[in-house]
Amino acid sequence: MLQSVTILQKNVSLSEVNLVLYDSREISESELVGKKFLYEEEKDHGNDIVPYFVHCVQRESRDHETRVSRTRESWTKLLLLIIRSFLVLSWLPKIALGSLHSVLVKRFDYSSSALQQLLLRITQIETLEEEVREQKRTLLSGRLLTMIVVDILTGITVACIISHYASVNDIYTYFCSWTKLLAGSVERLLQWLSGVPAGLKLNQPLTQALSAFFSYHVHLWRLYLELADPLLRSLAWVLVWLGMCGASVQVAILSDLLDLATLHLYCFYVYGARIHMLQISLLGSQWRAFRGRKWNPLKQRVDSHDKGGHVSLTRVLTAVVFTLVIFLLPTTTIYYLVFVLLRVGLNLMRGAMSLTVWLLNINPLYLVLLNLSASNRVKGDIYFSTVSAPEVNKHSVCPVAAPLVLHLHTWPTALSEVLVHAHTDDFPPKPSPDWKLIFSSIMFGENLL
Amino acid sequence: MLGSSSGSQLAYRNVQGDVIFVDVRLDPSLCNKRALEVCVSGGRIQFVPWLGYTSILAMMAFITQMHTIHLAWLLLAVLMQLATFVYRVRGKIVSESLLVVAGLGVQTTATFYTGKQHTRFIPWGDVIDIIIAETISMQRVLFYMALLVKRDKAVPTPKLIPLFLNTWPRLACLQHIYRACQEVLSPDFKVK
């Protein structure tokens, strides 16, 4: 029963006292509470007690920290040794891979997901080393550790299962035969297009020319595959051993191999898209010119531009070009449609694989386990509960001189908040495609998918 | 629409016309204008219509001999009905409470039918004011109570957090709560 309270040798009336009962372990062990109620030194917290209170409790617990046990120290030392040796081993490959990645991105505008994933993994291990070195058990270090361990275990399991059924040579020959099959089916597709595909009547000379052009391209691709066979065989060995680094690296390598195997389809898509864009822009400009208008790129709008009058050379030429393009449109559209559908299908597969890699990267297993075991470290929110006043006070009119009693409890934060607002250089953001851009690039062919 | 007190609980009406109960646990006038706790509870689940519908459907299914013809469909229909029932029971908010403590902060709690509680705490330094605002929805004008909260990262416009969104008390009840809140928020200012 609280009798009196004195602050700085002055007696404080009990009716102005708020008594808050709390569990100091809950607040001191939770790092999320400190982040949510941020204490800034400069701001005046006279009227806003909660951040200052959290800051004081955590500072007090830090000062009174007990020594860590011997076994935990030796475990952290062992872990640090493993991580440091890995970092030293991977220092040279990291520079090589980094430069290769930047060259690919700048020159060929191609970001290889396997290289990205490897570089990300090395960055994560570096961050982990920093955190473990400081001897703090933060949420970040726990998450990274569980994620890397789960990843490597899954990778090794998958590699063992696959090597149980087939050796590396078998896998490579299977992959080669699959690419040859793909080339054969693309040639059959082109022959089908050059005839009467799905009953549509195409412009014969144009379709024969396009089909011959694309078939020659496929023939060159086949030749290239046969020449590059021995080099790719040795590369396969390297890739399998690289896959031991984790399941996410394996999926990333698979996605890269898919890109490499369907390179000719990408080339066809680019040719088709360029022809389609040319046709669409010609159609648009000739349609406007026939009506006496012109697109003004300076002001980004359509202006009127009627120089010759109704029966002039400009008008005749416009009509001729427009008619030509309109009659050739179905043929090229069919080719473009076929290649765009193939490209979109391959992009969907690539998207699915990058989503798998992202899921493996932001493994929420650690946080879920902590949540289930009701650990204090995941608690990020606080709430107060009041103690109900005794009945006799309810009927009195004058104010009662008694302190207000509150209980402080902590509450676990939502999983999505911790996952989403985490550190972005260690955990990549969700790959979300820009649907508007995709739609416009399919319709007009200006940007490439 | 007028409040009538029965013991320590006041009975008001909510927007749909059902009766809700307002329980004032901590009155500012009794605690030196430091704290206020108001609990608004309503929203009883009505089992009788649900039982009626279920019995009618069961009789129809029995008459059409569904259990001999399409056993799988019948099971599916039963499962779907149970699933919707469980979903509605789990998501039903029975009471909402507001706790205002001067110097500490403002806390809103929503209690579900299953006993689960959902709380949100806003520290005192982030609270600007409590207001009663009106919104136009379809064919009627609704009054609701909202909390003006400072948004982080020095954005000048404050954030509006609406309160009592599931129990929807009417204006008289809102005015009663508003008067009590203003006694805590600005104890020197006299509210009419």
Evaluate whether residue B1 is within a structural domain: no
Evaluate whether residue B152 is within a structural domain: yes
pLDDT per residue as tens digits for the range A335-377: 899 999 999 999 999 999 999 988 888 888 888 888 888 777 7
* Integer Cα distance of A355 and A146 in angstroms: 19
Whether B127 and B65 share a structural domain: no
Whether B139 and B160 share a structural domain: yes
Whether B172 and B149 share a structural domain: yes
Which of A272, A443, A447, A449 is closest to A347 using CA atoms? A449
Interchain contact A330–B (C-beta under 8 A): no
Evaluate whether residue B33 is within a structural domain: yes
pLDDT per residue as tens digits for the range B141-156: 899 999 998 877 667 7
Whether B37 and B56 share a structural domain: no
Across the interface, of B8, B104, B119, the residue whose CB is closest to A18 is B104
Distance from CA of B107 to the nearest CA of A (A): 7
pLDDT of residue A2: 67
Which of A50, A21, A25, A54 is closest to A375 using CA atoms? A25
Examine the fold and report which residue of B59, B90, B121 is the final residue of a domain before the chain moves on: B90
Those residues of chain B whose CB sits closer than 8 Å to some CB in chain A are 8, 25-26, 29-32, 34-35, 37, 99, 101, 103-105, 107, 109, 119, 121, 123-126
Evaluate whether residue B192 is within a structural domain: no
Q: Is there a contact between A51 and B123 if contact means CB atoms under 8 Å apart?
A: yes
Query: Taking the mean position of all CA atoms in its chain, how far away is CA A21?
Result: 44
pLDDT per residue as tens digits for the range A205-239: 888 898 999 999 999 988 888 888 888 778 877 88
pLDDT of residue A340: 92
Q: Which residues on chain B are in Cβ contact (under 8 Å) with A394?
A: 8, 30
CA distances from B6 to A263, B2, B3, B25 (A): 80, 13, 10, 14
Domain holding B55, by residue range, is: 47-90
Q: Which residues on chain A are in Cβ contact (under 8 Å) with B104?
A: 18, 20, 49-50, 384, 406
* Integer Cα distance of B59 and A142 in angstroms: 58
pLDDT of residue A81: 87
* Integer Cα distance of B19 and B41 in angstroms: 9
* pTM of the complete model: 0.75
Evaluate whether residue B190 is within a structural domain: no
A292: left (phi over 0), alpha (psi -120 to 50) or beta: left
* Integer Cα distance of B77 and B63 in angstroms: 16
* Integer Cα distance of B139 and B52 in angstroms: 31
Q: Is there a contact between B125 and A51 if contact means CB atoms under 8 Å apart?
A: yes
Evaluate whether residue B2 is within a structural domain: no
pLDDT of residue A367: 82
DSSP A174-196: HHHHHHHHHHHHHHHHHHHHHS-
Whether B108 and B31 share a structural domain: yes
pLDDT of residue A392: 43
Evaluate whether residue B102 is within a structural domain: yes
Look at chain B and report how many structural domains it folds into.
2
Interchain contact A52–B (C-beta under 8 A): no
pLDDT of residue A58: 81
A379: β partners: A412
Examine the fold and report which residue of B90, B123, B149 is the final residue of a domain before the chain moves on: B90
Pick among B10, B29, B31 to test the A interface (most A CBs inside 10 A): B31
Please state the ipTM of this predicted complex. 0.71
Whether B81 and B148 share a structural domain: no
Q: Tell me if A332 sits within 8 A of A277, measured CB to CB.
A: no
Whether B72 and B20 share a structural domain: no
Interchain contact A414–B (C-beta under 8 A): no
Evaluate whether residue B123 is within a structural domain: yes
Whether B85 and B169 share a structural domain: no
Pick among B98, B119, B183 to test the A interface (most A CBs inside 10 A): B119
Q: Where are the beta strands (DSSP E) in A243-311?
A: 293-296, 301-304
Whether B118 and B180 share a structural domain: yes
Three-state DSSP state, B45: coil
Instruction: Give the neighbor-by-neighbor strand order of the sheet with A18-21.
Output: A18-21, A404-412, A379-386
Q: Is there a contact between B125 and A406 if contact means CB atoms under 8 Å apart?
A: no
* Token pair of B12 as six digits: 């008001």
Q: Which amino acid is at B44?
A: R
Q: Which amino acid is at B98?
A: L
Positions of chain A with pLDDT lower than 50, given as ranges = 391-398
Whether B52 and B141 share a structural domain: no
Whether B56 and B126 share a structural domain: no
Q: Chain A residue with minimal CA distance to B120?
A: A383
Interchain contact A399–B (C-beta under 8 A): yes
pLDDT of residue A422: 64
Distance from CA of A179 to the nearest CA of B (A): 46
* Token pair of A201 as six digits: 């009547």
Pick among A14, A27, A384 to test the B interface (most B CBs inside 10 A): A384
Whether B119 and B159 share a structural domain: yes
CA distances from B149 to A132, B11, B106, B128, B156 (A): 39, 30, 10, 6, 11
How many beta-carbon pairs under 8 angstroms link A with B? 70
Positions of chain B with pLDDT lower than 70, given as ranges = 1-8, 31, 43, 45, 66-67, 153-154, 188-192
Examine the fold and report which residue of B57, B74, B90 is the final residue of a domain before the chain moves on: B90
pLDDT of residue A399: 52
Q: In the predicted model, what is the mean pLDDT of chain A?
A: 82
A53: β partners: none
Q: Chain B residue with minimal CA distance to A16?
A: B32
pLDDT per residue as tens digits for the range A284-309: 999 988 888 888 888 888 888 877 77
Q: Which residues on chain B are in Cβ contact (under 8 Å) with A406?
A: 101, 104
